[in-house]
Amino acid sequence: MAVAFDTLARDIVAGVGGPNNIKGARHCATRLRLELRDEAKAHTEAIKALPGVVTVVQAGGQYQVVIGNDVPHVFAAMGDILERGGAVDEASDGPKGNLLDRFIELVSSIFHPILWPLSGAGLFKAFLTLFATLGWVDNKSSGYAVLNAASDSLIYFLPILLAIPAAKRFKANQFTAVAIAGALIHPSVLGLSTVEGPVTFFGIPLVLMSYASSVIPIIVGVWLQGYLERFLTRVLPGAIRNFTVPLVSMLVMVPLILLTVGPVTIAASNAIAGGVDWLFAVAPWAAGAVLGGFWQVFVLFGLHWGLIPIIVLQLSNGYSIMTGPLLGAVLAQAAATLAVLLRTKHAETKVLGGPATLSGFLAGITEPAIYGVNLPRKLPFYFGIAGGAIGGVFAGLAGGGTTAFVFPSLIGIPAFLSTPNLPLFFLGVAIAVAVGFFGTFFWGVNDKAMAAADAPAVVVETDAEAAPAASGQALTAGVEVPVLAPMTGRLVPLADVPDPVFASGKMGQGVGIIPTDGTVHAPISGKVLVAMASGHAYGIRSPEGIEVLVHVGLDTVNLKGAGFTPKVRKGDQVEAGQVLAEVDLAAIEAAGYPTTTVLIVTNTAAQKSVEPAAGETVEANDTALLVTH
């Protein structure tokens, strides 16, 4: 039976005495770990009876509500209920990897809620531009003005839309974030650009830029807003807190963004513009490579604004050579998106990829393609950049450019027809498209990246009948599948494991291992559904739909990763016997925790039987359980 996580979280909060009785909250692989101010206020038997709760354990100063695989979702729902939740013990759902990977994950997650409207707006703009180009719609008519506003509004007001998911991500007030974003593109702020003489904020020089369609300034601003609000919430008296926190946030953040992000962006933009302009004079092919390769990156950071004035100035003289490399850059990204669309098995991408591809090719609007398809997978975005760089080389050599300010797209091609060496220019565009398409088609369609992002939705399906279907493969009744020992050591019956939840079998049938070696191996091949950042627990689903949990040590979540070196992450595909982690067993014992490792089949109810293998000792990768399904 499916469980509504928000309902379950609300019932648990009420059952333990309400939000005010919760001093801190975190979770491990299977349990909510609550610190209550007064455990006597908790209605333990009522909580045990809740659908979705396995049992309740009170130990070590913690009130542990055992949920199972769905615990991250219940914890997330609880965070929305509590005014201020405790620190999450595990950061397994947070960004990992190097700074670039973390930045990509961050931007992609913030864009995800608006991908469909963004895709629709891009497609709207593409067809409106096409109809105007074909003469079916008069682009000087009032009707066109209305439709153009409808298709442009989402892109223009992008900072406001991004403020909402960014505020949720950074735990800031969403409405205050929207107000801050709105101020950046308010007509009174935009109108300052027409003021004669220097513009200041009470004597401090104010460097203006257009924040319409920008991405990074509002994300950075809301990130800082979150810290400011949490600080104000701690220090301000309750009598004035509710209205003073948003007041001070708006008062501080709007000028701060205009005085810091604006100047930094303008300085970076001007430096790029000056460098590219100089490079075009010295080595057009190199300038084309830089502009074609990095155009989408410039757009991502809002740095392209520094190039627009130079492009406009060049067009005032009849021809802009800076626009030449942009056609290959945009079409290469669109081609990479098309390749993902043709190869992906990810259902949401298949639906999103079509409009994103059309808007990229027809209108030159690549935001839906970048944020919804290419950037989360990384390689398609990189292949698009590579294609754009190669196309830019040819554009520079051909003297490619435009006679009008157009979006670089298939519809805008007529503006490029004054290029001196047109065949060489279009050869470069064709190569750019080919690199973006074929590079992605053969090497870049990484559905694993999307599987990792979607893993929480997969873990939800812990119902016995839902798990096999989620794996995408039908089960053959009566087949016996071995589950291997994750570690070398002494086997103990599950009932003898010194943990009442595991020992009871409520989490599933299995076996305990008292390990003698600290290398943890995958007991089955399959996808990693759970990989706690602390390295102490891993959940894997096999292609047959068998779900296995390896929990190293008991209550080792309290070590916060000390002594554990994880080797895999959530969403990875692993082979049986592959190393999941290295563990310092002596450090666990020194900290006072049992090293007993639990191996259980969490969807035991979906199997015909789960039986421990015979013997008292076991070597890693020997059979520890036999599962018949």
pLDDT in tens, 321-330: 999 999 999 9
Helix, strand, coil shares, percent, the chain, to 5: 55, 15, 30
Q: What is the pLDDT of residue 584?
A: 92
Bridge partner residues of 22 (DSSP): 36
- Residue 131's pLDDT band, with cuts at 50, 70 and 90, is confident
Is residue 28 part of the annotated active site? The answer reads yes
Question: Which class is domain 470-628?
Answer: mainly beta
Q: What is the pLDDT of residue 309?
A: 62
Residue 74 CA, chain-centre distance (Å), reads 19
Q: What is the pLDDT of residue 312?
A: 67
Strands (DSSP E) contained in 138-254 are 200-201, 204-205
- Residue 52's pLDDT band, with cuts at 50, 70 and 90, is confident
Higher pLDDT: 255 or 189? It is: 255
CA-nearest of 586, 591, 497, 597 to 549 is: 597
Q: What is the pLDDT of residue 302?
A: 64
Catalytic residue among 304, 536, 551, 629: 551
- Which residues, including other chains, have CB under 8 Å from residue 233's CB and lie 6 or more apart? 84, 241, 245
- Residue 342's pLDDT band, with cuts at 50, 70 and 90, is very high
Q: Which of 147-161, 172-186, 363-377 has the least mean pLDDT?
A: 363-377
- Beta pairing class for 489-493 and 579-583: unpaired
Q: What is the pLDDT of residue 93?
A: 42
Separation between Cα atoms, residue 449 and residue 181, nearest integer Å = 30
Higher pLDDT: 117 or 554? It is: 554
Biggest CA pair distance of the chain? 88
pLDDT in tens, 614-623: 888 899 988 8
Run of H or E including 77: helix 71-81
Q: What is the mean pLDDT of residues 230-258?
A: 87
Separation between Cα atoms, residue 135 and residue 139, nearest integer Å = 8
Q: What is the pLDDT of residue 368?
A: 81
Residues of the chain with CATH 3.30.1360.60: 5-81
- Percent of the chain exceeding pLDDT 90 equals 30
Is residue 536 part of the annotated active site? The answer reads no
Q: What is the pLDDT of residue 365?
A: 81
- Residue 271's pLDDT band, with cuts at 50, 70 and 90, is confident
Q: Are 538 and 69 in contact (CB under 8 A)?
A: no
pLDDT above 50 (res 86)? no
Report the predicted TM-score, pTM, of the whole model to 2 decimal places: 0.49
Higher pLDDT: 242 or 479? It is: 242
Token pair for 96: 């990992």
Q: What is the pLDDT of residue 450?
A: 57
- Residue 463's pLDDT band, with cuts at 50, 70 and 90, is very low
Q: What is the pLDDT of residue 564?
A: 92
- Residue 472's pLDDT band, with cuts at 50, 70 and 90, is very low
Q: What is the pLDDT of residue 432?
A: 96
Token pair for 22: 């919760």
Catalytic residue among 27, 28, 73, 629: 28
The letter for the amino acid at 407 is F
Higher pLDDT: 469 or 237? It is: 237
Q: What is the mean pLDDT of residues 95-108?
A: 64
pLDDT above 70 (res 449)? no
Residues of the chain with CATH 2.70.70.10: 470-628
- Beta pairing class for 564-566 and 547-551: unpaired
Residue 492 CA, chain-centre distance (Å), reads 41
Higher pLDDT: 293 or 3? It is: 293
pLDDT in tens, 6-16: 788 888 988 88
- Which residues, including other chains, have CB under 8 Å from residue 274's CB and lie 6 or more apart? none
The CATH H-level superfamily of 5-81 is: Glucose permease domain IIB (3.30.1360.60)
Q: Which of 101-105, 159-163, 238-242, 482-486 has the least mean pLDDT?
A: 101-105
